[in-house]
Amino acid sequence: MTIHQVNPRPDSLVLYKVHPARVLTTGEKIEIELEGGQTKRVRPKDITLLHPGPLRSLGELGPRVGELDAAWELLEGGETSLKELAELMFDEFSPATAWAAWQQVAEGLHFTGSPAAVRARTRAEVDQDRTQRDAKAAAERDWTAFLARMEQARPAAEDRERLAEVERLALGRSERSRILQALGHQETPENAHRALIQVGQWAPEHNPYPARQGLPEADPELPVPELPAEDRLDLTHLPAYAIDDEGNQDPDDALSLDGDRLWVHVADVAALVEPDSDLDREARARGSNQYLPERIVNMLPEAVTLRLGLGLQSVSPALSFAMRLTPEGELAEVEVHRTWVRVERTTYEAVEARLDEGPFAPLAALVEPFRRRRHANDAAGIELPEVSVRVRDGEVVIRPLPRLASRALVTDAMLMAGEAAARFCLERSIPIPFATQPAPDKVETPADLAAMYAYRRRFKPTRMLGAPEPHFGLGLPIYTRATSPLRRYSDLLVHQQIRARLTGVEPLDAETVATRVGEAEVAAAVVRRSERLSNQHWKLVWLRHRPKWRGEGVVVDKEERKAVVLIPELAMDVRVRLTQAELNARVRLSAREIDLPTFDASFRILD
């Protein structure tokens, strides 16, 4: 009896794809019956004969228990036919035993091949395959159990490593997650973020934005050289004040009054960070310090700040700018020296209480002509609300930053130093990055919050150029950033160039300066984005922890069916449904829903 006939007769058992079928009629095409009673017309080459029959019903193909191991051991390593295999296993060759034997061949553990040529696998092959199958079955059981724990939001300790896949998606480091796919979620960073919170891998308040921007999470760990032995002008006899926000950790500038001269002392970072050193390359790659509500990540090792931060040691090395002004507020005289200074640290609030006494009253009087000159040159007088956002012991603290005269005093003094550094370098043909800003299309003097909000949006970004151009927002014809070298690379680069001139070393050429500024500014832009997103994140966390919060907002812009409302308490603008509202109108509102993973916050008007 053969099972190779081209046109099997009716009631034969054939294989169609992987399913058993019974032949109903034959001809140019063969009609077959499949399980479930479905019929189909197929070509002869589409089927393989398993048994010539007669098979009256596919229901006859029930489970059969045979001598599988005995047949395999007898045939191990050799070849046989489906008919012989069925007879060895079941002592008969019938449609039912042919189908049962074929299932063993199709299963592929002990036997492989075709109905005409069945190969019995060796023991080594079977043992290896069985081990692999057992491991696969165990992995599938483990995967199923893992998914069940995820759906129940009850992960086990061993799941943490596996969830790293979801973390990579949440942080934008991959675009796929098998876990989210299996749970039926769209593969997005927001969904991954939400899933990690739900299973407890991330705390509900977790801030993913610095890591999502690919930023370093810690200060650099690099050796810091000793301060070089060199001559410095001793200014320790002049009282010097580093005025900062309370809690500031990197004081890099201070003020001194010397008769009719203002000294601005700046931490002499270039004395330790030479161009092209490991420290320089690392600072350039980072661009700037990263100031997050929950932590600060510095562009330089902490040891640099500890050695050079003004007032952190009894005497500090500084790069000091001495300036005299004309009655019109123009710089009349500029000197730059490497110095020793003795600095007292204080806060804006403390100075505010002493602005009518020495030395702060004469300091304020000295810089006043400079301030008047800037504002006469259309320096932007935008006074939108500002806040400080900090996370202390797990609690979000939001504190308003009042418009203090002491803060304005320090700002103007730093701007004077920036203009002085720019002029010093320009007059000596020292290549540096000049900070410039084109004027907006229309220059205004905004008088209310809505006007200030609109005016600020029309401002063009500051650009760092190799040639001096005016900085509109500051009201200065020439300016460079030079007072924050501990926390901003462009300032450090200016210091390196000035130091080269003071020490008789050839400064970097203009092309090299432009390249380095470009690298640092790209990195700094990423840092600024991380800071902005992180501040917004923690503001939303603050609101989420206060479901009964009610606050006041000011309408600063109107859109179709919505209004942009500025919340001064949070220095945050939100969009709310408000069809009829006048600009600068004050409204009461509450937060309806805060969704941290999607950054969505909805508010409603209370009155």
> Is residue 133 pLDDT above 80, yes or no?
yes
Looking at the structure, tell me whether residues 370 and 465 fall in a common domain.
Answer: yes
**β-pair type (39-42, 331-341):** unpaired
HSE-CB for 120 with a 13 A CA cutoff = 20
Q: What is the pLDDT of residues 176-209, one digit of tens each?
A: 999 999 999 999 999 999 999 999 899 999 999 9
Looking at the structure, tell me whether residues 290 and 397 fall in a common domain.
Answer: yes
For 95-121, the DSSP string reads HHHHHHHHHHHHH-SSEEE-SS-EEEP
Give pLDDT, residue 578.
84
pTM: 0.83
Q: What is the pLDDT of residues 52-71, one digit of tens each?
A: 999 999 999 988 899 999 99
Name the E strands within 1-128: 13-16, 19-25, 30-34, 39-42, 47-51, 79-80, 111-113, 118-120
HSE-CB for 293 with a 13 A CA cutoff = 29
Looking at the structure, tell me whether residues 40 and 178 fall in a common domain.
Answer: no
3-state secondary structure of 11: coil
Looking at the structure, tell me whether residues 433 and 570 fall in a common domain.
Answer: no
**Residues 98, 86 contacting (CB under 8 angstroms):** yes
What is d(CA 605, CA 551) in angstroms, rounded to the nearest whole number? 10
Domain boundary among 480, 504, 537: 537
Give pLDDT, residue 532.
96
HSE-CB for 453 with a 13 A CA cutoff = 21
3-state secondary structure of 231: coil
Q: Within a domain: residue 419?
A: yes
- Cβ-proximal residues to 295 (8 Å cutoff; 6+ apart), any chain: none
Helix (H) or strand (E) holding 325: strand 316-325
What mean pLDDT value characterizes the chain? 94
Domain that holds residue 71: 13-121
Looking at the structure, tell me whether residues 304 and 385 fall in a common domain.
Answer: yes
Give pLDDT, residue 1.
41
What is d(CA 142, CA 561) in angstroms, rounded to the nearest whole number? 52
Q: Within a domain: residue 350?
A: yes
Looking at the structure, tell me whether residues 359 and 490 fall in a common domain.
Answer: yes
Give pLDDT, residue 553.
95
Domain boundary among 496, 511, 537: 537
Looking at the structure, tell me whether residues 343 and 454 fall in a common domain.
Answer: yes
Structure confidence at residue 247 as a pLDDT band (50, 70, 90): confident
What is d(CA 170, CA 104) in angstroms, rounded to the nearest whole number? 45
Q: Which residues pair with 488 in a beta bridge?
A: 288
Q: Within a domain: residue 586?
A: yes
- Cβ-proximal residues to 303 (8 Å cutoff; 6+ apart), any chain: 224
Q: What is the pLDDT of residues 71-130, one digit of tens each?
A: 999 999 999 999 999 999 999 999 999 999 999 999 999 999 999 899 999 999 999 999
Among the residues of 458-606, which ranges form H helices? 489-503, 510-544
CA 174 from chain centre, in angstroms, equals: 12
Q: How much of the chain, in percent, has pLDDT values that exceed 90?
A: 88
3-state secondary structure of 341: strand
Q: Within a domain: residue 271?
A: yes
Q: What is the pLDDT of residues 536-552, one digit of tens each?
A: 999 999 999 999 999 99
Q: Within a domain: residue 213?
A: no
Looking at the structure, tell me whether residues 43 and 110 fall in a common domain.
Answer: yes
Tokens of 53: 């029959």
Q: Within a domain: residue 356?
A: yes
- Number of other CB atoms surrounding residue 231 within 10 Å: 7
Looking at the structure, tell me whether residues 387 and 453 fall in a common domain.
Answer: yes
Tokens of 192: 């991954």
Helix (H) or strand (E) holding 463: strand 463-465
Structure confidence at residue 6 as a pLDDT band (50, 70, 90): low
Single-letter amino acid code for the residue at 572: M
- Cβ-proximal residues to 262 (8 Å cutoff; 6+ apart), any chain: 255, 256, 322, 323, 324, 325, 363, 366, 367, 413, 416
How many degrees, rounded to 5, is the angle at CA 281 between CA 275 and CA 287? 110
Give pLDDT, residue 581.
81
HSE-CB for 350 with a 13 A CA cutoff = 11
Q: What is the mean pLDDT of residues 560-571?
A: 92
Token match 């019956």: residue? Answer: 33
Q: What is the mean pLDDT of residues 129-142?
A: 94
Residue 550: give its domain's CATH number: 2.40.50.140
Query: 110 — phi, psi (to 5°)?
Result: -90, -30
Tokens of 477: 């014809």
Looking at the structure, tell me whether residues 421 and 351 fall in a common domain.
Answer: yes
Q: Within a domain: residue 391?
A: yes
Looking at the structure, tell me whether residues 505 and 591 fall in a common domain.
Answer: no
Give pLDDT, residue 2.
42
**Residues 199, 183 contacting (CB under 8 angstroms):** no
For the ranges 4-13, 93-102, 219-228, 402-411, which has the lowest average pLDDT? Answer: 4-13
- Cα–Cα nearest to 214, from 263, 147, 286, 144: 286
Token match 């000295």: residue? Answer: 366
Q: Within a domain: residue 211?
A: no
- Cβ-proximal residues to 341 (8 Å cutoff; 6+ apart), any chain: 235, 236, 238, 240, 254, 256, 265, 310, 315, 316, 318, 320
Q: What is the pLDDT of residues 291-307, one digit of tens each?
A: 999 999 999 999 999 99
Q: What is the pLDDT of residues 509-536, one digit of tens each?
A: 999 999 999 999 999 999 999 999 999 9
Residue 195: give its domain's CATH number: 1.10.10.10
Domain boundary among 537, 570, 587: 537
Looking at the structure, tell me whether residues 332 and 260 fall in a common domain.
Answer: yes
Instruction: Please report, for residues 65, 114, 142, 146, 320, the alpha-carbon distance to residue 120 in angstroms, rounded to integers and kept in the order given.
Output: 19, 12, 32, 37, 90
Q: How many domains does the chain have?
A: 4
